[in-house]
Structure 1
Amino acid sequence: MKKKVCFFFSFFSAIGFSSSLASKIRDINTNLERINRQANELGLVRKHQKEADATGSMTSRPSDSIVVPNVVGRAGDESKIVEMLLTPSERVVSVIPITGMGGLGKTTLAKSVYNNTKIDENFGIKSWVCVAREIKIVELFKLILESLTRTKVEVDGRDAIVQEIRGKLGEKRFLLVLDDVWNCEQEFWSDFFTTLLGLSTTKGSWCILTTRLQPVANAVPRHLQMNDGPYFLGKLSDDACWSILEKLVVVGEEVPNELEALKKQILKNVMASHLQQS
């Protein structure tokens, strides 16, 4: 995010803005941390890299802590996915992989769907797991159990973990979100979904999976013998992008005329900068 904000500084300097606007831009620099947090919430930048941290720790976010930011330009995508989730199904578990390049807002969209009131009415239990790296299958089931119990799981054996998950789910229809997935191995997903299908006999449960990796998005539905492909998330419209930039750069004020006049050029440069970093 800092690189992206610095782009604004260099871009503005190159075209010679007025001193008053330059002063406003300098003020932005003092709020980089706040801007970065807002950008993360809006899904503009990745929260995690593929590499795990030194301790290999991961965070599983309980269902009541999924904060939904102000979603811009994704109402249509949210409606389509919610409609898919609410469509009656004879399957025990179905899956929707949401895919697209980094920074498009896959996680933000998934959060918005997750907290949609219609989803709450249709699913008896929900679980959100932030994966963020390649992990072993027992670790994934452990994260799911921690999300369901909202406590650290001390059990290590896979069978014991799966049994506890089964007990938590009961006969409820569930929604599971696996956010930021990197595992591409076919055997991994075959094993995972075979186990998931055995947790309940109730029909109509769903798994949403977000990933920037096309091989993951293409492989996952095959293991449930689903004909539907991934949900490809396209780039935001220029108006939506501009709305987000206004919130990040010109906080609580009107957009200066000098800035508005360069709208197209700014959007073009920001998109080019983003593509280079994705």
Structure 2
Amino acid sequence: MAVEIFVFNIAAKVLGKIGSPAFQQACMVWGVESDLNRLENTLSTIKAVLLDAEDQQVHNQELTVWLGQLKEVFYDAQDVLDEFECEALRRQVVEIQGSTTRKVRRFFSSSNSLVFRTKMAHKVKEIRARLDEVAADKDKFHLSQRSDNKHLVRGREMSYSFVQASDVIGRDQDKEQVIECLMHPADDQKVSVISVVGIGGVGKTALAKLVFNDARVVHHFELKGWMCVSDEFVLKQLLVKIIRTITSENCNVLEEEQLQIRLRNILDGKKFLLILDDVWNEDRVKWIELRNLLMGGANGSKILVTTRSPTIASMMSTMCPYNLKGLPQEECVSLFIKWAFDEGEERQHANLVEIGEEIVKKCKGVPLAVKSLGSLLYSKLDERDWRFVKDNEIWKFNRKEGDILSALQLSYNQMPSYLKQCFAYFSFLLKDYEYNTLDLIPFWMAQGLLQSLDENQEPEDIGNQYVDELFSRCFLEDYSDAGYFRLFKIYDLAHDLALSIAQNECLMMNCQTQNISKKVWHLSYYDNTWQDENILKCLRKSNSLRTIFSPIEGVGLTSESFIDACLRI
């Protein structure tokens, strides 16, 4: 069931704007302070119960509809307040530039100011009436007042992009078996393909990294390369990635024929190991096309594939696929303790360890679920916090066997509301794409999502702190701390969760998208083959958009003419 999110945050943002001294002073000039004060009072009353409403809507579809109506009013109120701010800024420009032109003076003439005042007074009254109408239904839901008093937990020092062997528990035997397959020559295959298959979060990528970095493997192969394949299986893009991971060359400018020649030259007569991580494509024709280009290596070359799909594993493998199972209970408990306590701390809290063992049973042997809940409880020593996780109703939701979204959802639910919204906007991101906070934080800043009790704290520091926290909750991988910024990827399961959370508000648009729902406020797109006019055609059908986002260089947003066209819509 779809739910409404971020309503509390939007209400807080609108209230903050109304309550600012500069805004209050401007409103007195335009004579709308009375209506805005009434709007502020109603909004404050509603805001007090919104956190409870957002949690309870899971069991009440009518409550979800009510929250959706509120969100629309809040966004429209925000638009009206933005108009006031723009007008105030224009007036400041005129006051600063006393010798302004006649044309600008005429724009700010008394008659024009009266038109603006009349128009805006009408808009404020309309917003207030709509909010009063929706707010009248509040009491029937019997909502409780709650404050957003959750705080960020302490982060962990884990600033590396490869897996440390000491951080992977219970996979020694799996590692030895996979290494044996890699180093054992195949009798009838020049280049062998081995698949590691298992459910999401079971540790396929961690196992592959253990194998990839093992000293025996490093010395056995002349060339090594690692690449995340994920949803995309476009031959030219894959060739560029493979060449880059083996040689560090950037071959983006080469044509496909040139890339094929370059790859064959690189592999010719060399024993290589290539990891294809997180493969989703089931098109056998595309796989054979790529495989044929990889056959030029020396005897004993290996390709290691990780995938959730037994179909893909069977299609790609030349050897029997390796099925990765969940961890035994004892090893899951060890992993949980590693993430829930500082070293040795668990000896002082036998009662919490006992509850933790019951929590671990619910994770069904999936390491990512164990780490996520261990991280959630890290530094929490109150038994009530642990029992809340163990007895939470979210475990009763009907999810398929092996699905760990309940564990990730539980961790998400315990975040501060502003961090929840930052995470949900990860639905914009590609799950196999590397990001850095230098690109992400300005987006969060533009949305007003960075909050701090310390007024002297820089937005970049707040944003980096948010990313650290999301990593500590096991929502991010391949994380590294570069000092004033972070590098990371988003776990595919965490990305699935972000998509499910933000499905009403955020849309990832592609070349097949024809229409945009009026409830979509934030839009992202990645297809650099899609022409700007196609994007603009879709945008003209929506009047609610507030964000257009693309992380890939060269896609529409870098064009000044495209931005001008968007602003004219």
Name the TM-score, length of structure 1 as normaliser: 0.71
CA-to-aligned-CA distance 1:214-261 (integer Å, 9 cap, x gap): 22112112xxxx3x3211000011122111111211123421111122
Letter in 2 for 1:30: V
CA-to-aligned-CA distance 1:145-165 (integer Å, 9 cap, x gap): 111221432234222112212
Q: Deviation at 1:80?
A: 0.5
> Which residue of 2 is the match for residue 167 of structure 1?
265
Letter in 1 for 2:332: C
Aligned counterpart for 2:343 among listed residues 237, 240, 252: 252
In the alignment, the residues of structure 1 paired with residue 190 and residue 330 of structure 2 have an alpha-carbon distance, to the nearest angstrom, of: 40
Q: Does the Cα contact within 8 Å between 1:123 and 1:175 map onto a contact in 2? A: yes
Aligned counterpart for 1:266 among listed residues 359, 364, 381: 359
Q: Deviation at 1:263?
A: 4.0
User: Quick check: 133-142 or 267-276, which moved more?
Assistant: 267-276
> Which residue of 1 is the match for residue 498 of structure 2?
none
Q: Deviation at 1:193?
A: 1.2
Count how many residue pairs are aligned between Structure 1 and Structure 2.
219
1:115 aligns with 2:213: yes
Give the unaligned 5+ runs of structure 2: 1-148, 370-394, 396-401, 406-492, 494-569
Letter in 1 for 2:280: W
Choose 1 or 2 for highest CA Rg: 2
> Which residue of 2 is the match for residue 30 of structure 1?
153
Distance of aligned partners of 1:66 and 1:262 in 2 relative to their CA distance in 1, 3 Å threshold = closer
CA-to-aligned-CA distance 1:92-116 (integer Å, 9 cap, x gap): 1101110100111100100111111
Q: Aligned runs of 1:83-122 on 2, under 5 Å? A: 83-90=180-187, 91-122=189-220
CA-to-aligned-CA distance 1:108-139 (integer Å, 9 cap, x gap): 10011111111122111101111222221221
1:217 aligns with 2:340: no
User: Quick check: 258-267 or 239-248, which moved more?
Assistant: 258-267
In the alignment, the residues of structure 2 paired with residue 246 and residue 196 of structure 1 have an alpha-carbon distance, to the nearest angstrom, of: 43
Q: Aligned runs of 1:29-178 on 2, under 5 Å? A: 29-31=152-154, 34=156, 66-69=162-165, 70-90=167-187, 91-178=189-276
In the alignment, the residues of structure 2 paired with residue 88 and residue 276 of structure 1 have an alpha-carbon distance, to the nearest angstrom, of: 37
In the alignment, the residues of structure 2 paired with residue 93 and residue 66 of structure 1 have an alpha-carbon distance, to the nearest angstrom, of: 26
Distance of aligned partners of 1:159 and 1:116 in 2 relative to their CA distance in 1, 3 Å threshold = same
Q: Does the Cα contact within 8 Å between 2:221 and 2:271 map onto a contact in 1? A: yes
1:208 aligns with 2:208: no
Q: Deviation at 1:181?
A: 0.9
Letter in 1 for 2:360: L
1:182 aligns with 2:280: yes
Aligned counterpart for 2:293 among listed residues 180, 195, 203: 195
Aligned counterpart for 1:275 among listed residues 368, 379, 403: 403
Q: Deviation at 1:206?
A: 0.3
Letter in 2 for 1:207: I
In the alignment, the residues of structure 1 paired with residue 229 and residue 183 of structure 2 have an alpha-carbon distance, to the nearest angstrom, of: 25
Q: Deviation at 1:66?
A: 3.9
Q: Deviation at 1:175?
A: 0.3
SS of the residue corresponding to residue 140 of structure 1 reads helix
Q: Does the Cα contact within 8 Å between 2:230 and 2:277 map onto a contact in 1? A: yes
Letter in 2 for 1:146: R
User: Quick check: 170-179 or 143-152, which moved more?
Assistant: 143-152
In the alignment, the residues of structure 2 paired with residue 134 and residue 154 of structure 1 have an alpha-carbon distance, to the nearest angstrom, of: 16
Q: Does the Cα contact within 8 Å between 1:128 and 1:179 map onto a contact in 2? A: yes
User: Comparing both chains, which one has the higher relative contact order based on Cα–Cα distances under 8 Å and sequence gaps of 6 or more?
Assistant: 1
Letter in 1 for 2:403: L
SS of the residue corresponding to residue 104 of structure 1 reads coil
In the alignment, the residues of structure 1 paired with residue 322 and residue 253 of structure 2 have an alpha-carbon distance, to the nearest angstrom, of: 35
Distance of aligned partners of 1:66 and 1:167 in 2 relative to their CA distance in 1, 3 Å threshold = farther
In the alignment, the residues of structure 2 paired with residue 260 and residue 28 of structure 1 have an alpha-carbon distance, to the nearest angstrom, of: 23
Q: Deviation at 1:34?
A: 3.7
| Higher percent of residues as helix | 2
In the alignment, the residues of structure 2 paired with residue 126 and residue 108 of structure 1 have an alpha-carbon distance, to the nearest angstrom, of: 17
Letter in 1 for 2:300: G
SS of the residue corresponding to residue 345 of structure 2 reads coil
**Identical positions, percent:** 31
Letter in 1 for 2:217: I
Give the unaligned 5+ runs of structure 1: 1-25, 42-64
Q: Does the Cα contact within 8 Å between 1:93 and 1:207 map onto a contact in 2? A: yes
Name the TM-score, length of structure 2 as normaliser: 0.36
Q: Does the Cα contact within 8 Å between 1:186 and 1:219 map onto a contact in 2? A: yes
SS of the residue corresponding to residue 274 of structure 2 reads strand
Q: Deviation at 1:276?
A: 4.5
In the alignment, the residues of structure 2 paired with residue 29 and residue 251 of structure 1 have an alpha-carbon distance, to the nearest angstrom, of: 17
Q: Does the Cα contact within 8 Å between 1:101 and 1:212 map onto a contact in 2? A: yes
Q: Does the Cα contact within 8 Å between 1:242 and 1:267 map onto a contact in 2? A: yes
Q: Deviation at 1:67?
A: 4.2
Q: Does the Cα contact within 8 Å between 1:68 and 1:115 map onto a contact in 2? A: no
Q: Does the Cα contact within 8 Å between 1:28 and 1:249 map onto a contact in 2? A: no
In the alignment, the residues of structure 2 paired with residue 152 and residue 113 of structure 1 have an alpha-carbon distance, to the nearest angstrom, of: 26
